Structure 1
């Protein structure tokens, strides 16, 4: 109903708890590619946990602190983008993305992020949106650069994953930079 065309047979639209079955099927296809980067991928393993993941974002949306949107390619959910940690008072938020292999190499994540950032700055009035990824996530770093974000630095061993600690690389874009991009 509320779909934003991304081109090439793709669209961005809200991802809601009633879509948990479709979301779970997608995460099952994407898990190996997504799990190292998106913490909820390893926790969304059955219908109840998938619904709970989407419900957390629905609750954030209702509270004005986050939003999640899926990327559908030719009618199949292949990924998405989320904005979370939104704080109207400070004007800050964080954007994240995920994509299964079937959607990769088409620019879908970059286009979806542009739409989410337009909303964050234009509709929500945020001042700063950050992007956090591991330095070994080359695809993620490339998207941050394509979005015109600025690399701010690295927090060493700040991200625990499966018994090992990884660095986190921080990027951001400011509203005034986005407006002129």
Structure 2
């Protein structure tokens, strides 16, 4: 379990990662709402986020899962502004595996923020959680999202056909992975 007040990682350019807390619900909802069109293109949960209450419920459920060592969802902050989220959507400490998910507000894209945030989580996952494998799943047509694991030298493992339902159609998901052994060989 990671205490909300403990997980804090600073990054270049005044950005930092901090575990989401209930008090962040308004900031989370505001950022999602301002980026709803772009985010809903690839993320099925966006349409069901209709109020601050929905964002608070998401954060509280994430914190419950965090206490059970099942996930870790952090806000990406620039000063006092929440500009996105990243985290281990799923953690399995028994198999020593986790999956990273991320999204970023449109005005902050293309600056390397997600790549750097992923590096922070990778180091945390392999170093502190003692994971053996980290995965990133991306819609096959989401080329910008797919560029992140490619840039970080994840291996493309395969395609999960018709895996995710988006806008009344099914899309393929590409699964990327990075092992502890590969990460240390690159370091």
What is the TM-score of this pair, normalised by structure 2? 0.91
Q: What's the counterpart of residue 80 of structure 1?
A: 85
2:41 to 36, 40, 60: 36
**1:83-94, aligned counterparts within 5 Å?**
83-94=88-99
Which consecutive residues of structure 2, in runs of 5 or more, have no partner in the other structure?
Answer: none
CA shift for structure 1 position 154: 0.7
Map of 1:140 onto structure 2: 145
Following the alignment from structure 2 to structure 1, what is the Cα–Cα distance between the partners of residues 140 and 133?
21
Cα separation, 2, equivalents of 1:74 and 1:135: 33
Question: How does 1:21-170 map onto structure 2 within 5 Å?
Answer: 21-170=26-175
**TM-score, scaled to structure 1:** 0.94
CA-CA distance at 1:74 after TM superposition:
3.7
Structure 1 residue 84: deviation in Å? 2.3
Moved over 6 A (4+): none
Cα RMSD (Å)? 1.4
CA displacement 1:34-92 (0-9 Å, x = unmatched) = 12323332222101111111112111111111101111124311112010221111111
| Higher mean C-alpha displacement, 37-46 vs 53-62 | 37-46
